[in-house]
Amino acid sequence: AVVSTQSTGSNVIAFVLGLVLGGIIMRVKDWHPKKLLLIYSVAVLLSTPFQASLFLRCDSNVVGGVDVTYPGSLGETQGEPSLYDTCNNNCNCNTAFPSFVCDETDGVTYFSQCHAGCTNGTLLNPADSQSPVKEYTECSCTSSGTVRPGQCGERCQTRLYISLALSVLGTMINFSGYAAHATVYQRCVNEVDRTVAQGWRQFITRVLGTLPAPLLFGFIIDNACTIWRVVGGQQGNCWVYDVDSLLVWFVWVQIVLRILSSALYFLGWYLYPEPTQEERERYEGRATEYEMKEKLSVS
């Protein structure tokens, strides 16, 4: 939860800083539409490599029955992931809610003490029957026979903060071109057509982006699920994902779409007519004209 909060807060700040930087760039001069297309294309392209920062992550947990066979054979994987085996078939386990436990001997995480085949447990405070469990023992599906509540896993704060810093920088660079992106649609058409142009822009954005994106990424996320919640024979939400597969697909789809977006804007820049002499004088001289009017009004 702390990591999620830090990531969200940092990227919101980066989003704001990117918009401010983009506004400053737009204030430098009154850019011609051709140059606005180039500005946004470069901003998207420069921010694309930062998507790979997601690969700087902690190693995934090894889940018993999914990544390794029971009991804890780290060198082998099952053909089809299954939480159930002969060591826990008589335990009546289910996947309604996870209660992860860790075998610290080999670093394997189990979906619950039931799936680990545990038949006994030790309380933190034996005198209190409501005390949390310290450890579970006599676990037939594990290599050591003993597990502790919680997931196995390493602490990797350094990689986490490096990844977060790169993500923030990429977000800021990407949104620094947003002002150019929002303005070019208004400047590449006649003034009387700007409302229609804005409407078409919103329509195409929704049809090609807003509508298919959740379907595409939802398909990728669902395909990476290894343990589904099953209650009464009905499949519910996902409890455990194949993080490696999810990350590869998630990052590369974003990179490909960003490169495609940048290429199309670059193509627009290449095909857009060069500004006429009148346009060049108007766009390059407008900032100076505004400054002169401000000086005259002050005096």
Render 133-172 in DSSP notation, one character per residue. Answer: EEEEE--TTSSSSEEEES------HHHHHHHHHHHHHHHH
In this structure, are residues 47 and 174 in contact, taking their beta carbons and an 8 Å threshold? yes
Its pTM stands at: 0.72
Distance CA 76, CA 69 (A): 6
Q: Tell me 73's DSSP state.
A: B
Distance CA 25, CA 43 (A): 12
Helix locations, the chain, DSSP H = 2-28, 33-47, 157-175, 178-187, 194-205, 212-223, 243-271, 277-298
pLDDT in tens, the chain (299 residues): 455 666 778 888 898 999 999 989 888 877 888 889 999 999 999 999 998 888 887 777 788 888 887 764 444 444 566 788 888 888 888 888 888 999 988 888 999 999 988 988 888 777 666 667 888 988 988 888 899 998 887 667 787 788 888 989 999 999 999 888 888 888 888 888 888 888 888 898 889 888 999 999 999 999 988 888 877 778 888 888 888 888 899 899 999 999 999 999 999 999 988 777 776 666 655 544 444 444 444 44
Distance CA 148, CA 101 (A): 5
Give me the pLDDT at residue 47, please: 93
The phi and psi torsions of 186 (rounded to 5 degrees) equal -85, -25
Give me the pLDDT at residue 129, please: 63
What is the β-pairing status of strands 225-231 and 234-241?
antiparallel
